[in-house]
Amino acid sequence: MHKKLVRPEMDGFTPYVPGLSIDEIKKRFGLDTVIKMASNENPLGVSAVVQQRLHMASALAFRYAQAGTPALTQALAQHLGVPQECIVAGNGSDEIIDLLIRVVARPGVDNVVAFTPCFSMYDVQSRLCGVEFRQTPLRADFSFDFENLLALTDEHTALVFITNPDNPSGYACPAADIVALAARLPKRSLLVVDEAYVDFAAPVEQYSALSAFGSSPNIIILRTFSKMYGLAGLRLGYGIMPAWLAELVLRVKLPFSVNILAEQAGLAALEDTFFVAETQRVVRDGRAELSQGLTALGCTVYPSQANFLMFRPPASSLSAHEIFEALLRKGIIIRPLSSYGMPDFLRVTVGTQEENSRFLTLMAESMRGGIS
Ligand SMILES: *Cc1c(COP(=O)(O)O)cnc(C)c1O
C-alpha cells in the first residue's frame, strides 16, 4: 500500500539476519547462562587496556569527534606502513562498503560483482543504490573460481568484492592470486578485498593483499576492529584505498560516523599487542580443537583461516536446523547458514577453551537428539 511512496529499489529487501542475542535466548528458554558462538566476536571480550582507555575517554563524550578521525588514521598508517591519505575510517567496515558503492557505482548503469554465497552487505547496498549485483558460485570446496568471476565483469563493472578469508567458509585464497585477478579486471573496475578475518590467517603475508597495495592501483582493502580487536559493539572499521578515492569518500562520509569512544578504543587496541597475540593463540588452538572434535562426531569440517568453522552434520544425525535448535535450548547459540542459502550447513565461532568443550559436549548430545 505504501509502495507508491518509496523508491522502487525498496522492493524485495528483507531485514539483515544477525546472530541471535544472549538476552533473547535466556528469556526464550529460561536459561541462566548462554554461550554465544554465532557472530565471530572475540572470545576474550574487550582488552583491559581498551577498557581503561574507554573509562578515561568517557569524559570526552560531550565533544564532537575530529572529522576524518586523523589520530586513528595516522596510527593505522604507521601500523600498516601505508600512507595516511589512503586510509578512511568508518562506522564499521559496513560503512566503507556502503560509501564505496555510492561513490563509485552509477545507478542503472554500473554493476557490482561478487561470489555467492557472500557477505550480504555487498548485495544490499548495491541494490539500494540501483546498481546491478552479479554473482557467480564458489567452487564446491568453497575456493574461488576467478575465471567465473572475470566472466561476469564488463566495462560497467565498478566494483568486485571478495572476502579473504571468506565468510562463512573460512577458506583463504593466496594473495598472489588476488593480485593476478586485480591485474586482469576491466580498466575501470576496483577490486575490494574484505580482510575482516585476515588477522587469524597464518602466515598473514601469504594471504593479505596489503603488501601489493602500493603496486596494484585498483586494489582496496577493508579491515575491521570488530573481530580480532573485540570492538564489534563500538563500530569501527577502515578501508585502505588509492588516495584519490579516499579523498572523494571523505567528501561525502558523515563527518562524525566514527565516535570519540570508538576512536580512542581503536588507538588503545593497536597498542595492546599482548591482547592481539593472546587472541590469535586462543583462536588458533580453539579452531584446531573444534575441528578435531566436530570431525570425530562425523561432521564434515571445512578448513578455516578465520575465527570460525563451517561444518555439515552427517546425514545420519539430526538436520543442521534441528541441531541448531537443540543447541539453543541447551544455551549455545551458533549460526545456521540458511540466510546464506546453505540450509545444510552450520557455522560456529571459536570460543574460549571452556566454551569450545561445552559446545562439543552439547553438540554430541544434540546430534543424537538427546537431552542433557
Ligand atoms: C564481520 C564482517 C565484517 C565487519 O563488519 P563491521 O562493520 O566492521 O563490524 C566485514 N566483512 C565481513 C565479511 C564480515 O564477516
249: nearest Cα among 259, 238, 263, 261 = 238
Ligand 1 atom closest to the Cα of residue 236 is 8
Taking the whole predicted model, whether its pTM rises above 0.85 is answered as yes
Ligand 1 atom closest to the Cα of residue 121 is 11
Q: What is the pLDDT along the chain (372 residues), one digit of tens a residue?
A: 577 888 888 887 888 777 778 998 999 999 999 999 999 999 999 999 999 999 999 999 999 999 999 999 999 999 999 999 999 999 999 999 999 999 999 999 999 999 999 999 999 999 999 999 999 999 999 999 999 999 999 999 999 999 999 999 999 999 999 999 999 999 999 999 999 999 999 999 999 999 999 999 999 999 999 999 999 999 999 999 999 999 999 999 999 999 999 999 999 999 999 999 999 999 999 999 999 999 999 999 999 999 999 999 999 999 999 999 999 999 999 999 998 999 999 999 999 999 999 999 999 999 987 544
Specify the pLDDT at position 17.
74
According to DSSP, residue 105 is labeled P
According to DSSP, residue 158 is labeled E
Q: What residues are in contact with ligand 1 under a 6 Å CB criterion?
A: 40, 92-94, 119, 163, 167, 194, 196, 224, 226-227, 232, 237
Tell me how far the alpha carbon of residue 330 lies from the centroid of ligand 1, in angstroms.
28
Tell me how far the alpha carbon of residue 9 lies from the centroid of ligand 1, in angstroms.
24
Tell me how far the alpha carbon of residue 234 lies from the centroid of ligand 1, in angstroms.
13
Residue with cell 563451517: 310
Q: What are phi and psi of 333, to 5 degrees?
A: -100, 120
| The CATH number, out of the four listed (3.40.50.720, 3.40.50.620, 3.20.20.370, 3.40.640.10), of the domain defined by the range 48-271 | 3.40.640.10
Of all protein residues, whose CA lies closest to atom 1 belonging to ligand 1? 196
**Which amino acid is present at 252?**
V
Quickly list H helices, 81-226. 93-104, 120-128, 146-152, 175-184, 204-207
Instruction: Report domain extents, the chain.
Output: 19-46+274-368, 48-271
Residues 6+ apart with CB under 8 A from 61: 260, 261
Specify the pLDDT at position 12.
79
Tell me how far the alpha carbon of residue 225 lies from the centroid of ligand 1, in angstroms.
9
Of all protein residues, whose CA lies closest to atom 3 belonging to ligand 1? 196
Of all protein residues, whose CA lies closest to atom 2 belonging to ligand 1? 196
Ligand 1 atom closest to the Cα of residue 232 is 9
Specify the pLDDT at position 310.
98
Are 311 and 302 in contact by the 8 Å Cβ rule? The answer is yes
Tell me how far the alpha carbon of residue 42 lies from the centroid of ligand 1, in angstroms.
13
Tell me how far the alpha carbon of residue 223 lies from the centroid of ligand 1, in angstroms.
8
Q: How many CB atoms lie within 10 A of CB 261?
A: 18
DSSP string, 288-357: HHHHHHHHHTT-EE---SSSEEEEE--TTS--HHHHHHHHHHTTEE-EE-GGGT-TT-EEEE---HHHHH
19-46+274-368: CATH superfamily: Aspartate Aminotransferase, domain 1 (3.90.1150.10)
Of all protein residues, whose CA lies closest to atom 12 belonging to ligand 1? 196
Give CA–CA dist 273/175, Å, rounded: 24
